Amino acid sequence: SQTIHQWPATLVQPVGSPLSLECTVEGTSNPNLYWYRQAAGRGLQLLFYSVGIGQISSEVPQNLSASRPQDRQFILSSKKLLLSDSGFYLCARNMGGPGPDTQYFGPGTRLTVL
């Protein structure tokens, strides 16, 4: 199974509030996990990826952070949200290890910061 769960599906938060988005995956152990953000009408921006528990690589400096407390759990957080954090957040997975493996995506979380 390549099932990916994302929670919540939709979120409206005030500026300056904290954020926690959760992604959990089923199936193969030790997957690579990814967080992407997509602004309205735009392409995908890679935010973070993880190749194992506690291993996080950041692609874009910002007020967001990611953690991987368990093999199949990936969390995106912020201490204080900005208006520019609004967007559609997608979690993705592929098999472990480097290389051109197919990424499969979750259903996404729509975040609106007011």
Partner 1 sequence: AQTVTQSQPEMSVQEAETVTLSCTYDTSESDYYLFWYKQPPSRQMILVIRQEAYKQQNATENRFSVNFQKAAKSFSLKISDSQLGDAAMYFCAYAGYSSYKLIFGSGTRLLVRP
Give the interface with partner 1 as residue ranges (CB under 8 A).
32, 34, 38, 42-44, 46, 49, 51, 57, 59, 88, 90, 92, 98-108, 110
Ramachandran sector of residue 102 (left: φ over 0; alpha: ψ -120 to 50; beta: rest): beta
Indicate the residue among 11 and 51 with the shorter CB distance to partner 1. Answer: 51
Task: Name which of 81 and 90 has its Cβ closer to partner 1.
Answer: 90
Q: Closest separation between CB of residue 64 and partner 1, Å? A: 17
Joined together, the tokens standing for residue 42 give: 């735009």
Distance CA 13, CA 109 (A): 13
**Which of 112, 106, 114 is closest to 11 using CA atoms?**
112
In angstroms, give the least distance from the CB of 79 to partner 1: 26
